[in-house]
């Protein structure tokens, strides 16, 4: 089981578990909450078949990585990602792809460390630009919503997971055609195995302000979002990235009726958008994606 050390807590090492499969152009896949790196299996299968090298890892506190009580902020998460890239010697033509919480790692990494060695980025079910409602961010979500989530975790985190996963997949609409009861149980098991402290602490990270990072992104970005997302609604996340022109070179793909985790429920649509974007050049990106049957819109260039 490959892992890297990214710090210590008291006498214990803090280690990240990762998998590194295939050969070719590398793509690093950063998972969402409360899942692990294996949640990318429906994308990894397609990427490997198309000649990409796939690197997945478990965020601290989740999956098979260490479960410390420290480091749950996006500066640390981005530093963990950099440690992994440096460890694997990934310094040329790398693609960073994040789902949900993972979009924060990708955004903060690019805002902090720049795009040297990174050719493209993918944001699926984005958290940026800024979820918290404030005087200068009136379109955000009131803070008491997030306080309620934290209280639910403290009261009974397993019951919280049941409700959260229901919205992650829109289970009332997705089962049985797009999500099986068995797959939902598997996600519940992964969530239950996450660190209790991490489960609670990560909710505060969702309030991170990424508006300072976004203008620094100088590579092409694909943003994919389900129109029926109940966790991170399109209008307050990816819709703002597009409409407020917060990323210079942005291509947006919406998936009609898709829930938050479209990676699982709509893999064909996600994979088509992903492979078309990865294989296209700047001048013909929209044409290439349209030819592949992907409906996309572009931001400013």
Catalytic amino acids? 100, 229, 260
Q: For residue 192, what are its two tokens?
A: 């239950």
Which helix (DSSP H) or strand (DSSP E) does residue 56 occupy? strand 52-57
Can you name the residues that pair with 255 across neighbouring β-strands? 226
**How many Å apart are CA 36 and CA 101, to the nearest integer?**
11
**How many Å apart are CA 245 and CA 256, to the nearest integer?**
22
**How many Å apart are CA 90 and CA 88, to the nearest integer?**
5
**How many Å apart are CA 26 and CA 266, to the nearest integer?**
23
Residue 171's Cα: distance from chain center in Å?
A: 20
Q: Is 285 in a helix, a strand, or coil?
A: helix
Can you name the residues that pair with 123 across neighbouring β-strands? 98, 223
Strand 25-30 with 94-99, pairing: parallel
Length of the chain: 301
Estimate the crossing angle of helix 196-205 against helix 101-113, to 10 degrees: 60
Q: For residue 39, what are its two tokens?
A: 């949640």
Q: What is the phi/psi pair of residue 286, to 5°?
A: -65, -40
**How many Å apart are CA 154 and CA 156, to the nearest integer?**
6
The one-character DSSP state at 40 is G
């Amino acid at each position: 089981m490959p892992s890297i050390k990214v710090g210590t807590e008291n006498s214990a090492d803090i280690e990240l578990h990762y998998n590194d499969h295939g050969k070719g152009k590398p793509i690093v896949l950063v998972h969402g909450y409360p899942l692990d790196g294996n949640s990318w299996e429906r994308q990894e299968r397609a990427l490997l078949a198309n000649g990409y090298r796939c690197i997945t890892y478990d965020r601290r506190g989740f999956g098979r990585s260490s479960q410390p009580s420290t480091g749950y902020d996006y500066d640390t998460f981005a530093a963990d990602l950099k440690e992994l890239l440096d460890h694997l010697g990934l310094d040329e033509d790398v693609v960073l792809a994040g789902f949900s919480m993972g979009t924060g790692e990708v955004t903060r990494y690019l805002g902090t460390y720049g795009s040297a060695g990174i050719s493209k980025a993918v944001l699926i079910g984005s958290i940026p630009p800024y979820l918290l409602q404030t005087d200068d961010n009136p379109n955000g979500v009131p803070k008491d919503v997030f306080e309620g989530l934290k209280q639910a975790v403290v009261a009974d985190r397993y019951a919280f997971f049941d409700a959260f996963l229901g919205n992650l997949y829109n289970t009332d609409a997705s089962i049985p055609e797009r999500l099986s009861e068995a797959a939902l149980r598997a996600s519940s098991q992964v969530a239950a195995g996450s660190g209790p402290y991490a489960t609670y602490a990560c909710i505060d990270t969702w309030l991170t302000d990424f508006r300072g990072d976004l203008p620094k992104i100088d590579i092409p970005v694909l943003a994919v979002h389900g129109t029926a997302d109940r966790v991170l609604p399109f209008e307050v996340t990816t819709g703002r990235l597009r409409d407020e022109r917060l990323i210079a070179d942005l291509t947006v793909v919406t998936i009609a009726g898709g829930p938050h985790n479209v990676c699982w429920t709509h893999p064909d649509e996600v994979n088509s958008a992903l492979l078309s974007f990865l294989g296209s050049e700047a001048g013909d990106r929209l044409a290439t994606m349209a030819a592949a049957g992907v409906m996309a819109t572009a931001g400013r260039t």
